[in-house]
Every structure is written in structure tokens, then in C-alpha cells.
Amino acid sequence: MQPPEVRRDLLDALPDEHIETAYAKINLALHVRARRADGYHAIESLFVFAEDGDWLAGVPTDDGAIDLTIDGPFGEGLGAGQDNLVMQAARALQSYLGEQRGAALRLTKRLPVASGIGGGSADAAATLRLLARTWDVRIDAKELAALALSLGSDVPACVASVTQLVRGRGELLEMRDIEGLTRRPILLVNPGVAVSTGIVFAGWDRIDRGAMDATSLDALIVGGRNDLEARAMALAPEIGAVLAKLRSAAGVRLARMSGSGATCFALFDDPKDAARAATALRRDRPAWWVMETRIRAA
């Protein structure tokens, strides 16, 4: 086995085909409809993806070993062992394919951990995309979806990382082309707190407030909601402060919490308004994480 420092050297100055972006996932609306008999929750959610996210670099190796190093602003304290979703995804794909080659991987963690924007799920999906390409293998889309679901409920949608209506526990996906979403400016803000997805879902009040209308952006703004927002705010009141700031920004169309929190988002019509809001937040709340980006196209 090659020593880790040699493997890290392999990852420097890689061409684009050896690099994947793990695109941040945003729930424009998240309706929790029921708790299922298997313990999962039945949801309806409109997933969109930012143009930015974590970065994953990798090269194939001949010894069968999967090695992971982690850097980036949110990499400190994040384990690179077998419980990391990147490692789990790599091992799962390797085992499924009977692949004899290994990989040296480096995750640059740019998204906050446990923040409701799919960081770990997006990382796992990026691993599947990257290794399928660098190992030059073919895998059926349905087989890949099943493999992705075994890693986490959000991973199947993160494989394509395009706008989708997501139902069930995350296994029912419907691509959506909603006018006015693609390339729209979006601001992501996290107050510097992590909340547990499991604890937030466990605190859902079990009230079905109705189906989602995802036919248009206006329908998502007027009739959409995040059914986990109240529970997350009870655990992390800072979420309320973020939402108040975002909702008071000039030019904002929609501000809502994403996923189980604590990251919130704001949609804008004009990128100049988004830029001004980002500048003001960085000035007034320097401890908050702020990412100014756009909604990714297909």
C-alpha cells in the first residue's frame, strides 16, 4: 500500500475529469406527510441545487485501497474513516461492481456539517459520479439509484443534482423544469450551529398539512412550507434570527429554512440585491456562514 503522503501528492493539480463538485442541496419547500411503518417519514419536497458546494478530487489506484483525506474550512474534526459517507459510497460502488482498483480521494469541505443542505449526501453522490468516471465503468441508472438510496434518503436526488420533486423517503424522483428557477440568485446562510436531522424529524408534530403544489415558483412561495422549521427553531433559536434578517432584505422573493436546518436560504430576482444582502450579513454577523450563489441548471 502506498503511504498516505504519496497518495496526497497524486491529487495535486488534477485535470477536471478527476474533480467533482458536491452541489449544495436546497429544499425550496418540505412537506412531511406521514411517518411510515418502516420508521422513515414520507415527504414531498422540491429540491434545487446550488452551483457551488464541496469539492471532491480523486485518482484510481491499483491496490484496491480506498483512502480519504479531508481539508477545507469545515474539514477540521470531520473523520475520514469508514463512517464517512465518501468512504461508504466508494466501498459500496467498489463492492457492487467487483472493482479491483482503489482510489485516493480528497474532500475539500466548503459546506457546514449537519446543516440541512445535503453536505454528506452530496459528497456521497459526487463520489459515485467521480469513481464511475475515473474507473471507466458503466452502471445502470436504476442500479445506481438503489445503491445511492442505501447510503441515505437524499443521495439519489443528489446524484443528478438538478431540480426534482422528491417523494417517499427520497426514492421517488420527478425531474421538474420550473420557470424562473434556473440561474436564479440564492443566498445560503448558516448561523454556525449544527442540528441533528434525526432529532428534528423525531420532533415533527405528526400533522399532515397537505400536499405540495410545485407547478410554479409562485405556488411554492405562496403554498409551500417547511414542516420541520418550528422544531428546528426550538432546538436552535438562531435560525429565527437568520430568517428575520433574510426576510427583511431588499428584493427577496422567498426566505425559508432548508431541510432540517440550520441553513436558511433567500431567493432574489436581482443578483445585485443578493450581493448587497450578502455584504450586509458578513458585516453585521461575521460569525455566520454566507454563500452567495445561483440555482444550478440541468
User: What CATH number has the domain spanning 4-175?
Assistant: 3.30.230.10
Please tell me the predicted confidence (pLDDT) of residue 16.
Answer: 75
pTM: 0.94
Contact yes or no for 208/33 (Cβ under 8 A): yes
Please tell me the predicted confidence (pLDDT) of residue 86.
Answer: 98
Contact yes or no for 165/52 (Cβ under 8 A): no
Fold of 185-294: Alpha-Beta Plaits (3.30.70)
- Those residues whose C-beta lies under 8 Å from the C-beta of residue 244, and which sit 6 or more positions away, are none
- pLDDT tens, 168-187? 999 999 999 999 999 999 99
Contact yes or no for 56/127 (Cβ under 8 A): yes
Percent of the chain with pLDDT over 70: 95
Place of cell 459546506: 111
Least confident segment among 11-15, 166-170, 290-294: 11-15
pLDDT at 218 over 60: yes
Task: Grade residue 10 by pLDDT with cuts at 50, 70 and 90.
Answer: low
Task: Grade residue 35 by pLDDT with cuts at 50, 70 and 90.
Answer: very high
pLDDT at 268 over 60: yes
Which sign, positive or negative, has the C-alpha torsion 144, 145, 150, 154? positive
Mean pLDDT of the chain: 94
Q: Which residue has the higher pLDDT, 284 or 1?
A: 284
Catalytic residue among 123, 154, 227, 273: 154
Provide mean pLDDT across the span 186-205: 95
C-alpha 159/C-alpha 92 separation (Å) is 15
- pLDDT tens, 67-86? 999 999 999 989 999 999 99
For the chain, give every residue range classified as CATH 3.30.70.890: 185-294
Which H or E run contains 230?
A: helix 229-235
- pLDDT tens, 121-158? 999 999 999 999 999 999 999 999 999 999 999 999 99
**DSSP 3-state assignment of 119?**
helix
C-alpha 75/C-alpha 147 separation (Å) is 26
Percent of the chain with pLDDT over 90: 93
pLDDT at 263 over 80: yes
For the chain, give every residue range classified as CATH 3.30.230.10: 4-175
109 is catalytic: no
Please tell me the predicted confidence (pLDDT) of residue 15.
Answer: 74
284 is catalytic: no
